[in-house]
Structure 1
Amino acid sequence: MSTIPRTMKAVVTKSNGGYEQLQYQDVPVPELLPGTVLLKVLSAGVNNTDINTRLGWYAAKVKKGTLALSSGEIDNSMDGGWKERTPFPLIQGTDCCGRVVAVGSGQDAHLLNSRVLVRPCMRSSGWESLETIWLGSDCDGAFAEYVRVPSPEVFPVDCEWSDEELGTIPCAYGTAENMLHRASVQDGDIVLVRGSSGGVGSAVVQLAGRRGARVIAVTSKGKKREVASLAVERVITHEELASGVLPSNSVDVVVDNVAGPDFGEMLNMLKRGGCLVTSGAIAGAQVTIDLRSLYLKDLRLIGCTAWAEPVFRDVISYIEQGEIRPLLAGVFPMEEIAAAQQEFSRKHHVGKLVLLPHQV
């Protein structure tokens, strides 16, 4: 095993703001604590939450969608998080594929040299509480050469996938599986997925199909062919959905991380007793719904952040059993994070973009 250096390269986000807040610099390698492990980062995916946190989009005073929020509208007096401050300066990076290079406690020695994925949603007060700590938002994350994480949050993975492919998984697939778990999606359910070409959306499509659901994927015209390759039952465009191509009362579950002005119409799509589940709002968090649809149709509206206990372990098993496949849209060196986030925000890709740290 190579000697662990005292310093490393990392992308440090200095404050809320634009790309100028992303500084690639030398920082100390994290010190091990009891119950933690040190990972050499092999790959780190790019996610909406990384950009949301930098922009301060989670601040309650922000009304626009992520793509409509410009850095010129941001001031450092914003809380940045959901009614609490983000701990800047911060090493972001919610997705981590890494290799365990040191352990802080003897009982974790079996993890040494394992290739692992990190569960980014950590239930900080146990499984009976919904309190969470998110890697890269509440504590230093994977946009670095090394990262320290609690040992219960690392999961060895035995597969032939590349490091880059594994870097597409943690946040998107964990979030997707958690929504399907909470909505109790099962064999034969008709599931409508908005934003099906994104990291979370494409994961929902695969994971819902794995459960035997009949998936209707919503995407842009230019991405229909790629989304159709995920073996969905039907692919429609956003424009087709808005024009009424689907009848009312036709789906069992809506998975919607897009939100925005069309969010309320999704309740009309649901059958009586159906469920809408969400964990994001890329097109805007301020929405309008008709409460009569909600209560007269006996609908369930579920918001998801805290992951259920079996979710991430199940995702690892799906990888090892060959039941899902990665959607790697592009790879960037970590020092080119601004270019990667710019490409991410253009939304021309299907799947995930991944950063690679400098390899010594």
Structure 2
Amino acid sequence: MLVNLIRTLCLLFLLAACTSAPHKAGLVYADFPETHELKGEAIPLDTALFRYPFRIRVQEDKVFVLDLHGTDHFCHVFRYPDFSYWTSFGKRGESPDEQLSVENIRWNGKKLWLLDANKSELTRFGCALSGDSLFRQETVKLDRALLRALDFAMVDDSTFIIPDYSGDNRFCRVNRQGRLLHKMGVIPSSNEEALQNARPALAQAWRSFIDYNPRNGVLAAVTQLGEVLEVYNLKDSTHVVRIGLHGEPEFKVAEGYGIPTGIMGFSDVQVTDKAIYAVFHGRSFKEIMQNAQKGIQVDGGQYIYVFSLHGEPLCKYVLDHYIYGISVNESEGIIYATDVNQDDPIMKYKMK
């Protein structure tokens, strides 16, 4: 499983494209004022469905789990809080009403959206009148001007934000019809050589996971390589770059493509009403490959970093499991997480 992940990661970097990007210095953080160790509770499930549980979303009385390598369906739904199985959707296949892939799922009010990068489509699902299943309500074909979309966020009912992998900018604003409205932001790299001579590779290496909270207007992006957090406030147009001890994404150029070196960085981020939560790995590719050769196949991050809405480091949680995706409930003080390494992949952590 781990070797397949590394191959997939390298392939994703090979799929991006080119052009230019200016840069600016970031604010370095060295540590967090608080560190807490958390012990998780595995949630027992009444069915075995998952191959690679990548994302988890808790919405009212339902829990949605995205299986990145799902066999029959990519998404599975459980009742909350007892986690009994409800239904599956996002059927895998090549027909018009099926999915070739699912990169992320998002809620906007009562509307559930998913992104299929292989089809370059966003699809909206709704609940059937019988209340026992979900069905496709709308499909949005993305503008051809957009390169392969690997993540998205909802700004409002009529606008999506999608990371820009052309290297020109950081994000694309896309309307409800899938058309590109405009681009915003820049890659905040200090790598002058890459900016001048290897811009396609730089764009690939800076692949980021994003989240947006419409209540406070904060858009957060965390790099899959290295240790960089960006915070954009879309209400006051401020932008902060925070760089950790592992620095910017590291890569080498081979035949014009960016091949990751350095470390695995972040794998998920959530912007709540009060803070920004991000799953951090911090393990080098060398270490990952050495462990794989020894038969040690542990995948995921053992840390959750908590930042303020302005990007200041607040707290570091050290976990007893390696996780990938999170769903944070600040009012209940609970974090649900996915662990791809075990048969019961949903973990529950109580925050301190």
TM-score of the pair, normalised by structure 1: 0.26
Give the structure with higher Rg (CA). 1
What is the TM-score normalised by the length of structure 2? 0.26
Structure (1 or 2) with the greater helix fraction: 1
Greater share of strand: 2
